[in-house]
Chain A
Amino acid sequence: MPAEIRRSIVYRSERGKTIRLCMTIRGNEITHVTFTGDFFGEPAEELSKLGEILIGLNAGDVNELFRRIDEFFNERIEWIAGASPNDFKQALVKLLESFSDND
């Protein structure tokens, strides 16, 4: 079984807020993700679960990861301020690049 690799990054949103993203992958499978930061949104309980929707997905399939993020914000989040769905996607790209940069 491939070893788990963990990475984290800090991303600044277009509105000037901070998104911290931590991810663990085994092979190409995402085994854990958390998006944290100083953005705002509701329902808060739902927004704090953003990372959970990516668990089990293929970290190399960026289109699918983006599709899931869009679906999450469209269906589960009433409003968000300080960061946009696109910021979360760009944070994800930055983090995925850090895996390939360092391995």
Chain B
Amino acid sequence: MQPSKRLWRLLEIERPEDPYYNLAVEEAVARAVGEGIVPTTLRFWRNDNAIVIGAFQCVSLEIRLEECIKYGIKVVRRFTGGGAVYHDIRNLNYAVSFRRPSPIPGDDVLSGYRAVGEAVIAGLEKLGARAEFIPVNDIQVGGRKISGMAGTLTKDLLFIHGCLLVGSNIEILSRVLNVPREKLEAKGAGSVRARVTTLRDELNREITMDEVKKALLKGFEEVFGAEFALGELTSWEKNKAEELYRNKYLTIEWNLGPCRGCPDRGKDEAILRRVGLAGGD
């Protein structure tokens, strides 16, 4: 007899043009899983032309304003730590929410990066890309980063999400993110361009998002013994997402993050307004 599989919900809810809404849904789904309202959930989604900065990062230090304005890039802060990432429509985001205790041995964020990373790596393998997990939270192919993860842990929730560079515009990515020289040197790279790669470049062919999603699903099935049922947001999640969208992700206060009390707060606020924050506060 086959061991019973774990039934996970699969979501493909996205508004690529509205990164603030996408992040609101991300948090609403995670909270719903933590509350036990919905089962373990894997979400695939995309932003089109946005920078998502980590919970503890400074806007003006992490992005290049003039380049963001030039390319019409919006900036939003996520609820997890980690580094700033550039998302275009050829980048695929994956997010897994586990109610604790999770099935991951260790049941913490670092174990989560490794386990979710293994699933993504298994999926990439099916597409012909040999990837490896690089602690703390990276996935690399041929020594170049193709995916980075971030996550959080609360009493009831283990949440891990990441972005996968399927065919993103690396030229724009390297122009809009202000990666410190110290970080590039530590990674042995002279530039952002030299440090990252895309699935398209590694496979040397165009690849559709559907192909990538199917491969990743197989990876998650293998690593977690999961079986997927395509689902929708519940009413609770829709209401929570709307609330978070209006009262959190659209606000200057949230997007300023740890720089709320900074003498340069005005500079960061101006950046956020100029790069498209509609404002809700």
Contact = CB atoms under 8 A, between A and B. Distances in A.
Interface of A: 6, 10-12, 15-18, 20, 22, 24, 32, 34-42, 44, 47-52, 79, 81-82
Interface of B: 54-58, 61, 79-84, 108-110, 135-137, 150-154, 180-183, 186, 257-259, 261-263
Nearest to A48: B258
Contacts of B108: 79, 81
B109 A34 contact: no
Contact of B259 (A6, A18, A36, A82): A36
A40 B61 contact: no
A42 B153 contact: yes
Contacts of A81: 81, 108-110, 136
Nearest to A17: B136
Given A12-B183, A15-B136, A37 B56 contact: yes
A34 B263 CA distance: 10
Given A10-B180, A32-B262, A44 B136 contact: no
A32 B186 CA distance: 29
**What 8 pairs between A and B have smallest CB-CB spacing?**
A40-B81, A38-B83, A48-B258, A36-B58, A10-B180, A10-B182, A44-B55, A38-B82
A48 B135 CA distance: 24
Nearest to B187: A16
A81 B106 CA distance: 14
A7 to B, nearest CB: 13
Contacts of A34: 58, 258-259, 261-262
A16 B58 contact: no
Contacts of B81: 38-41, 44, 81-82
